[in-house]
């Protein structure tokens, strides 16, 4: 199996999961995304990120590996599920950012809510290098829900139930909570529509692979048995 880390992280992020998978007799391969860790920077596109996975799979002679990713890596795993014959793909809490007022259903003023959240995200991105800002722009341009529907095989997507609103300034938190509710509703809609899509709501925050590695292994487990 191939494990993909999140944005601004590196392959060591997966160490707790790797140890457990090896104990089960699995062969986990951690892949450093371009521009992260020891992997050289290169222009980021989703096609190139999927091609990087394909190159590693080919170089190591892997046959139909399970592909799992956290956050940014989860988005790449989702796209892999639409591009390759994959027995199981897993996206651990990789849901992107709100891109329009439509993402704030239930908020009294979605336009104002979107404006304050985008301002907060822009301020938080201050100091990021140019390469990572390009990654963030690519995330904004990606329609993940369309990608979920294009998956050619089983796809598991997790959603942490502990809110990330506290990471934002106080004036943006109500809007972010509305966005989280919208995201969950959309994920549940896909799960009801697509038989091969499974949504797992976890009692964790964003870093489910670090907070509950045993849960992560249990979700990968059915593919190991097969």
17: Cβ–Cβ under 8 A, 6 or more apart, which residues? Answer: 3, 28, 209, 213, 216, 217
Give strand pairing partners of 92: 70, 158
Give strand pairing partners of 4: 31, 69
Q: With a cut of 60, say whether residue 157 has pLDDT above it.
A: yes
Tokens of 164: 């990330």
Q: HSE of 99 in the Cβ direction (CA atoms, 13 Å)?
A: 12
Spatial distance between the Cα atoms of 81 and 68, rounded to a whole number of angstroms: 10
Q: With a cut of 80, say whether residue 3 has pLDDT above it.
A: yes
Spatial distance between the Cα atoms of 10 and 198, rounded to a whole number of angstroms: 26
Give the pLDDT of residue 225: 64
Give the pLDDT of residue 38: 81
Q: Would you state the CATH architecture of domain 2-225?
A: 3-Layer(aba) Sandwich (3.40)
Give the pLDDT of residue 20: 95
Spatial distance between the Cα atoms of 205 and 162, rounded to a whole number of angstroms: 5
Domain coordinates of the chain in residue numbers?
A: 2-225
Give the pLDDT of residue 53: 97
Give the pLDDT of residue 40: 81
Spatial distance between the Cα atoms of 7 and 129, rounded to a whole number of angstroms: 12
Give the pLDDT of residue 221: 80
Using a 10 angstrom Cβ sphere, with 0-12 exposed, 13-18 middle and 19 or more buried, the burial of residue 210 is middle
Neighbours of 185 (CB within 10 A): 11
Q: With a cut of 70, say whether residue 226 has pLDDT above it.
A: no
Spatial distance between the Cα atoms of 118 and 149, rounded to a whole number of angstroms: 27
Give the pLDDT of residue 165: 95
pLDDT tens-digit series, residues 94-147: 999 999 999 998 899 999 999 999 999 988 878 777 788 888 899 999 999 999
pLDDT tens-digit series, residues 169-201: 999 999 999 999 999 999 999 999 999 999 999
pLDDT tens-digit series, residues 30-80: 999 998 778 788 888 999 999 999 999 999 999 999 999 999 999 999 999
Q: Are the C-beta atoms of 98 and 165 separated by less than 8 Å?
A: no
pLDDT (mean) for 14-35: 93
pLDDT (mean) for 83-101: 94
Pick from 8, 46, 23: nearest CA to 220: 23
Query: How far from 118 is each of 122, 134, 184, CA to CA, in Å?
Result: 6, 16, 20
Give the pLDDT of residue 133: 83
pLDDT (mean) for 191-212: 96
Q: HSE of 85 in the Cβ direction (CA atoms, 13 Å)?
A: 3
Spatial distance between the Cα atoms of 220 and 53, rounded to a whole number of angstroms: 18
């Amino acid at each position: 199996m191939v494990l993909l880390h999140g944005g601004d992280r590196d392959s060591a992020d997966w160490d707790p999961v790797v140890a457990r998978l090896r104990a089960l007799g699995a062969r986990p391969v951690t892949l450093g995304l371009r521009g992260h860790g020891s992997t050289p920077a290169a222009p980021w596109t989703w096609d190139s990120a999927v091609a990087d996975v394909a190159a590693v799979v080919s170089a190591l002679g892997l046959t139909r590996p399970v592909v799992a990713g956290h956050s940014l890596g989860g988005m790449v795993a989702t796209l892999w599920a639409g591009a390759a014959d994959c027995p199981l793909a897993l996206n651990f809490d990789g849901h992107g950012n709100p891109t329009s007022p439509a993402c704030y259903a239930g908020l009294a003023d979605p336009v104002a809510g979107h404006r304050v959240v985008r301002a907060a995200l822009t301020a938080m991105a201050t100091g990021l290098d140019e390469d990572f800002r390009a990654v963030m722009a690519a995330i904004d341009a990606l329609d993940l829900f369309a990608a979920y529907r294009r998956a050619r095989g089983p796809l598991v997507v997790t959603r942490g139930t502990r809110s990330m609103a506290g990471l934002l300034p106080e004036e943006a938190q109500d809007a972010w909570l509305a966005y989280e509710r919208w995201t969950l509703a959309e994920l549940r809609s896909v799960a009801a529509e697509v038989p091969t899509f499974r949504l797992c709501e976890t009692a964790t925050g964003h870093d489910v692979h670090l907070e509950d590695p045993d849960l992560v292994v249990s979700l990968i487990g059915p593919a190991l048995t097969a």
